[in-house]
Amino acid sequence: MQILITGGCGFIGTNFSKYWLEKYPEDKIINLDNVTYAGNIDNLKEFENNENYSFIKGDICDKALVESIMKDIDIVFNFAAESHVDNSIKGPMIFTETNVLGTHVLLESARNNKIKRFIHISTDEVYGSIKNGSFKETDILKPNSPYSASKAAAEMIARSYNITFNLPVIITRSSNNYGPYQYPEKVIPLFVTNLIENKKVPLYGTGMNVRDWIYVVDNCEAIDFISKNGKIGEIYNIGGGNEIPNIELTKKILKEMGKDESFIDHVEDRLAHDFRYSVNCEKINKLGWKPRFNFNNALKETIQWYKANEEWWRKLKK
């Protein structure tokens, strides 16, 4: 198989590339990544001499480049995205350019080259916030940030290519991922690395906002599973089943790091801060997938990874 992974130098893309190269060593992978601030080419340095792995630095908005790559590809996994909500509030236009227009370029090239399967990686944030219950794949999308709006828009274009052109698209919507190689602007690596540096952790508002957490390897396995067992044209929620208020997550990290609550700095809340994300995962569960990793154990492993890889994240925080 010839696999195109877009955004393979980012957090989830890196972990997915490692996962695929190790599980399917006969497949050939092309990693197309623009290596923006959150991308790190060193993440996959161990595979640079692997004849079945190749890296191309480039923008998914570059039609000519995408077309030249897509000619021999069987499956596309589209991870490439601007993904930090705070950045989408400060500068939203790049989110539309990359997440919407970039996805459209990929879809059009995939259509031209009769790709066998196009797996579009989305987020539970497209649903918006929910106080009670959990979102199903058929629920109306009500994104509240420029980031989640751009991801919802990309999904709509992907869906249209399936309906209109019969492009074999599948969409996944995962909850908050955590694990190694996550850029230290996201809450878990930011808090862990701050505490290693003996700095306080900036917690939005009261910290009562609720998120569901999934270990990144679980998400990678789910995406692989869906690429083989999912139905064309369908959408699949991927959750970890680990809903927890941000304040409780913060306390877990503090305890693991041997710090007390004096290290919490309650900062002004984010604009339009979604209160709670929650996804119903019955659809993918019925197909036969469930997460493998225990939240507390995987969180401890994640913290240990950042402790053991200070060289990786220190240069990113400068």
Residue pLDDT, tens place only, 62-95: 999 999 999 999 999 999 999 889 889 999 999 9
Alpha-carbon span 282 to 239, nearest angstrom: 10
Which residue bears the tokens 């897509």?
Answer: 70
Report pLDDT for 83: 87
- Give me the CATH code for the 178-211+242-272+294-317 domain, please: 3.90.25.10
Residue 117 and residue 76 in contact, taking contact as beta carbons nearer than 8 Å: yes
CATH superfamily, region 2-177+216-238? NAD(P)-binding Rossmann-like Domain (3.40.50.720)
pLDDT of residue 272: 86
Contacts with 22 (C-beta within 8 Å, 6 or more apart), sequence order: none
| 124 catalytically annotated | yes
pLDDT for the residue 288: 98
Separation CA 232–CA 162 (nearest Å) = 8
Give the residue extent of every domain in the chain.
2-177+216-238, 178-211+242-272+294-317
Angle, nearest 10°, between helix axes 187-196 and 295-308? 50
CB 128 within 8 A of CB 139: no
Whole-number pLDDT of residue 227: 98
Residue 142's pLDDT band (cuts 50, 70, 90): very high
pLDDT score at 127: 98
**Beta strands 169-174 and 201-204, pairing class:** unpaired
Q: Residue 93's pLDDT is what? A: 95
Q: Which is catalytic among the residues 125, 221, 224, 243?
A: 125
This prediction has a pTM of 0.96
- For 209-257, how does the pLDDT look when each residue is reduced to its tens digit (9 = 90+)? 999 999 999 999 999 999 999 999 999 999 999 999 999 999 999 999 9
**Residue 84: its pLDDT value, please?**
87
**Which is catalytic among the residues 53, 127, 147, 183?**
147
Instruction: Find out whether 238 and 219 touch, Cβ atoms under 8 Å.
Output: yes
- Whether 19 is a known active-site residue: answer no
pLDDT of 86 reads 87
Residue 71 near residue 112 (C-beta atoms within 8 A):
no
Integer CA distances (angstroms), 195 to 56, 131, 200, 317, in order: 35, 31, 7, 13
pLDDT of 318 above 90: no
Task: Report the pLDDT value the prediction gives residue 145, as an integer from 0 to 100.
Answer: 95
Over 90: is that where the pLDDT of 264 sits? yes
Q: Mean pLDDT for the chain?
A: 97
> In a 3-state reduction of DSSP, which class is residue 296?
helix
Q: Which of 33, 82, 124, 212 is catalytic?
A: 124
Asked whether residue 163 carries a pLDDT value surpassing 90, the answer given is yes
- What is the number of other CB atoms lying within 10 angstroms of the CB of residue 283? 19
Instruction: Please say if 125 is a catalytic residue.
Output: yes
